[in-house]
Structure 1
């Protein structure tokens, strides 16, 4: 899905300068314990389902919307798994800091498929057979694995992953 009107309007004002965005990520598990991933259309990398929240949207609503928009899978949120700030610079030079809240989710219906222009492929992966993922994606999966655990957050002065 192309950038929302909100993001387009912001970029018209600040160009490629730094913008802080609230974002969400879904770590979706099925009944086999597999995790739902998609291959991004902008860089061909595999990752978790994620997106920018819309103005006025609650994080829980945003994560449910993003999963359905990108994969046609409906989910139930089981818990907040973590929250962290991370930097992103897109190939066009747009600079962002994402305040990302990620959620452990359970697939409840729908057949996983490419459902919009953001994905090249969508699929379920066993945890011991994941495609190449960046360290941050691995971190979010690991912190979402326990069914009952407190949400992860970086301690004051700490980065999300040492050396990343």
Structure 2
């Protein structure tokens, strides 16, 4: 799985120490209401499309870039559905990272879904009621928040340190 250059540069200084990174994710739906998922190469689990923002990159263009790079699908953004945190995650190489994630609902506009990079093993469309059993918990939560019929984005009002 390719590591962005700026993260590699940071890792040269901090080793495997925890990093706090900005991420984006998308719940992409097609005209039939199916959800686009990727089977990640790093853990073998199904997940919504996600990625790390490059320095100075805006979340909207970043998530559209990730969708196209990972799945070959073009999409348009509908709205922000949630802002939350994930991690800490320990990767197979020992790196530890936590993420601030901005999740979007996106609509498929063009392109056939396919495995378009080495970050994923498979790419497929799933009916909302027939999601794979080995879907990441964070993706399940993002899907639930994205498919709510409300205009507001979800965010936590509690700190992880609150009782």
Task: Tell me the TM-score range normalised by the shorter chain.
Answer: over 0.9
CA deviation digits over 1:60-118, x for unaligned, max 9?
01000000000010010000000111111112221111000000000000000011111
Is this contact kept in 1: 2:86–2:138, CA < 8 A? Answer: no
Any runs of at least 4 consecutive aligned residues in structure 1 with deviations exceeding 3 A, and if so which? none
Number of equivalences: 159
User: Which sections of structure 1, spanning at least 5 residues, go unmatched?
Assistant: 160-164
| Residue 134 of structure 1, CA deviation | 2.4
Q: Could you tell me the TM-score, scaled by structure 2's length?
A: 0.93
CA deviation digits over 1:38-62, x for unaligned, max 9?
1111221111100000011000010
Question: How far apart are the structure 1 equivalents of 2:53 and 2:109?
Answer: 22
CA deviation digits over 1:21-41, x for unaligned, max 9?
000001000011110001111
Q: Match of 1:91, SS? A: coil
Matched, 1:108 2:137: no
Question: How far apart are the structure 2 equivalents of 1:13 and 1:158?
Answer: 28
Question: How far apart are the structure 2 equivalents of 1:64 and 1:147?
Answer: 22
Q: Match of 2:144, SS? A: helix
Higher mean displacement: 86-95 or 66-75: 86-95
| Residue 19 of structure 1, CA deviation | 0.7
Q: Could you tell me the TM-score, scaled by structure 1's length?
A: 0.93
Root mean square deviation of aligned Cα: 1.3
Question: How far apart are the structure 1 equivalents of 2:7 and 2:159?
Answer: 29
